[in-house]
Structure 1
Amino acid sequence: MTGISVRGFAVASATAVTTVGAAVGVASGDEQGRSTEPVEVVAADATLLAEIPAGANAQLHTASLTQQAESQASAADADARRAAQEAARLQAAEDAHERRAEEERAEEERRAAEAAEAEAAAAEAQAASAEAAASAPVQSSYSVADVQALARQMVPADQFQCFSNIVDHESGWNYQATNPSSGAYGLMQALPGSKMSSAGADWQTNPATQIRWGLDYMDSRYGSPCGAWDFWTVNNWY
């Protein structure tokens, strides 16, 4: 396309024909065709002709439009890529957040299950201890061997050695041991000894009652007899 206006071309053509016709009439000597008025040549629409890019100018104009279109397309592609990258980044962040939430939920469930198992095991051990203490015959006196036999029945097997270590250091397995300076009493040297009444009214004479109280104390304060023993080795008391 040269961009030449059709209207401008028609005006220019009509003007050319009028001009040629006037010239021919004069040359033929036709008096009737001759006019005493000067011939007015109407020029083509200057505005329309000025709008017409021709030749190399038209090619440059077309190339400029093409370059603009290509630049706009390239910018649109870049915007689309950036939008896609941002969407991918947001999706990845959301996926990571969901994975972390799932992992945290799984960890909480695992801990809850472990706590429930530990609680059930403690309750079972406590019930076994109470059953053993209840079934133990009441005697007027107990030897060290008798007391240790009761402890083996009442203390979980994997905790017995730690329990025994503490009793060895505190009372030497003498259920009537009394500290003359502090008043601590019994196998575990409870201070005061009367706190063992929570396990039974016969706390002064029945080593099974003292063992049951000692287990409850170690479990509640240190988690287990072995936890109590770990503390004892550092501090020489529990």
Structure 2
Amino acid sequence: MAILAGSALAIAGLVVGGTFATQSAVAAQDRVSATAALAESTGVHPEQLDAYHGIAKAHTQHNASVALDQANQVLSATQGKADASALTQVTSSLAGYEVLPLDEISSLTSKTKTETTALAAAAAEADRAAAAAAVAAAAAAEANRVTSLAAGNTPAGAKATAQAMALSQYGWGSDQFSCLSQLWQKESEWKYDAVNSNGGATGIPQALPGSKMASAGTDWATNATTQIAWGLQYIKASSYGTPCAAWAHSQAVNWY
């Protein structure tokens, strides 16, 4: 009976062992078949798969590195010009590309490129708007200058300018200005473009030649204020010393 029992156990062991061996063989065959299928679908031999995976990883990480460099350049160049929060956020995520899964690296790289382009475009638009605003401001300033010049070039405007300059620069009050007003009324009627046909004396103070007034400004021919500045300095530096002295001389000899 013991012999029969032992035989039965031996037979059972053979059956079980055979089943495990069969299952192992099937699993191994499945792995071989899967590898063969992958090789057949890609045209790559099994031993080459690891190498190609390494190449893909290196390529993906390189693209990420390039995208980060470009993004950082744009971030640096566009500070204060546009909202950079979206690009800052995605580059922060992509910065750890060396330890991220390849599919996540690819996705973040794509987003980084998109946001880089968007930020660069927004900054360019900001620059365009700033340039347009600068042009508009310059045009407005020029318009104001022209308007102010035109007002200052009228006889009334020139008189107001001369009175203010005479007082602030030379301390000549209303009495001296009264003399100056009569003097230059006689000479040019306070017209900045007056020219004496007899001798060529020019401008409000009737400088001879008119180019003498260039010492007060290159715009002497078109700006009453420049002519007034030269005329006041001329009276002060001459033997007259004051507008009333110059006016007295003009009344006596008809020139000053």
TM-score, length basis structure 2: 0.38
Larger helix fraction of residues: 2
TM, length-normalised to structure 1: 0.41
Considering Cα pairs closer than 8 Å and 6+ residues apart, tell me whether 1 or 2 has the greater RCO: 1
Quick check: which has more Rg, 1 or 2?
A: 1
